[in-house]
Structure 1
Amino acid sequence: MKILSALATAGLLVMAGNAAASSFIGTTDTIGSSLANSVEGTSDASTGGNNKVVLQARDDAASFVASNGAIRGVQLEAALQHLRAQQPGLEASDMQLAEDILAQ
């Protein structure tokens, strides 16, 4: 009888462990996909056909990101204005757009 009880307990522990792992994977998949959708939204905004204004702002975007927003170059300002003019409803911050410019 002790063996049957021990096997039943072991089986329940295995099932509980699998349920917890499955729940964790589901949660991380959900978080990961929502972050990917967020990044994709800002990426779509700055690709704009890889236009020249945005591509020329890469060095200024790097300085902006590295200085945590303290250094704002002329080319970055032009790119940000250009992106916002192309997509008036864009809700991305300057930092998000600068990071996205760097990612291209």
Structure 2
Amino acid sequence: MFHSRLFGAALLLALASTANATSFVVTTDTVVRGVAASTDATSDVSSSFRDDKIVQAARDDAASFVASHGDIRGAKLESAFAHIRQQTPTLQASDAQLAQAILAL
């Protein structure tokens, strides 16, 4: 009787640790996919708008936007956001990601 309970407890512990490991892997995969999508969007913007005058003119506004965590939104930056979204309508990037991409140019 004691051995069967011990075996049952060991089996339960093994299954629980497997579930935790699987949960960790799924969570990690989700985070990595999100970061990869953000990086892809940022690199797409930075490579295609490197010489764009509207985007280049918004660099100072982008720096203020990033430094203020989105509280300061200059007119040139708003114009650049609209221009970027018009040129690449399939781009799924937030304003913060776009501002960081502008600064990375």
* TM-score normalized with structure 2 length: 0.64
Q: Distance in 2 between matches of 1:101 and 1:59?
A: 10
Structure 2 residue runs of 5 or longer lacking an equivalent are none
Q: Distance in 2 between matches of 1:49 and 1:90?
A: 13
User: What is residue 80 of structure 1 aligned with on the other side?
Assistant: 81
- Partner of 2:101: helix, strand, or coil? helix
Preserved CA contact (<8 Å) 1:69 1:95: no
2:84 is the alignment partner of 1:98? no
Count of matched residue pairs: 103
Correspondences of 1:1-104 after superposition (within 5 Å): 1-48=1-48, 50-53=50-53, 54-55=55-56, 57-67=58-68, 68-72=70-74, 74=76, 76-77=77-78, 79-88=80-89, 90=91, 92-104=93-105
Q: Distance in 1 between matches of 2:62 and 2:40?
A: 18
Q: Distance in 2 between matches of 1:52 and 1:21?
A: 47
Q: Distance in 2 between matches of 1:47 and 1:80?
A: 15
Q: Given residue 16 of structure 1, which amino acid in structure 2 is its aligned partner?
A: A
- Partner of 1:51: helix, strand, or coil? coil
What is the Cα deviation at residue 93 of structure 1? Answer: 4.5
- Structure 1 runs (4+) greater than 6 angstroms displaced: none
What is the Cα deviation at residue 13 of structure 1? Answer: 0.7
Q: Distance in 1 between matches of 2:83 and 2:9?
A: 64
Q: Distance in 1 between matches of 2:38 and 2:57?
A: 24
Quote the sequence identity (%): 47
